[in-house]
Amino acid sequence: GPEQAISLAVSGDFLNVKFGLLGQPNIQRTTTNGHIIYSPVMFNYSLMPLLLVYRYDPISITYYFAFLNLVSGLLLYFLVKKILGFNVALLSSTLFLFDATMIYHSTFIWTHHYIPLLSIFIFYLLYRFRQKQKIFTPLLLGVLTSLSLSPEYFYIFTMAAVFCFMLYLSKQKIR
């Protein structure tokens, strides 16, 4: 589709023409004054190595994102198994992997593909922080939630929930 083509074109321009700090323009979200909203650039940065490895073939890059969804389902299984047991892990990973929406999203290049994987890592770090409160965990959680905010601005509500949960769990509130 056109959005996938724009994503690849912008990433290709970063490689071949001029590197940039703005992501792809959201031309369908132009304001009445002609202002254009730009998508965050992190997704375009992640496409750059894929363009080089797969020699600018969009179908091969799509296979990468299908593989990424499989890895996310596998990591979801291991995380839920560790926390809630085998039966719940099998059910949750099956629902994730065989969901019609996830299968559909595996067929194209989209900035939101990283959100499930980042969310799994965030939940894992919250689980670990609940067990062992290491100083490095909140920093890593901040980085991961910021990366999750990059493809989807509504993730700010999840970011706020993670922050509040961290405050609730933290033994040293101010630090």
The chain-wide mean pLDDT, for the chain, equals 88
At 173 the pLDDT is 64
Q: Minimal CA–CA distance to 42: which of 144, 138, 156?
A: 144
Residue 175, classed as helix, strand or coil, is coil
Model confidence pLDDT, tens digit, residues 87-123: 999 999 999 999 999 899 888 888 888 889 999 999 9
pTM strictly above 0.85: no
pLDDT in tens, 29-77: 777 888 887 877 888 999 999 999 999 999 999 999 999 999 999 999 9
Q: How far is CA 79 from each of CA 128, 163, 169, rounded to the nearest angstrom? A: 11, 21, 19
Q: Say which residue the tokens 């920093």 belong to.
A: 139
- The whole-angstrom separation of Cα 140 and Cα 168 is 17
- Beta bridge partners, 37, equal 26
Q: How many CA atoms lie within 13 A of 65 on its CB side?
A: 24
Q: Six-digit token pair at 93?
A: 């990973």
What is the pLDDT averaged over residues 128-157? 85
Confidence of residue 169 (pLDDT cuts 50, 70, 90): confident
Residue 51 CB contacts under 8 Å (≥ 6 apart), including other chains: 8, 11, 12, 15, 61
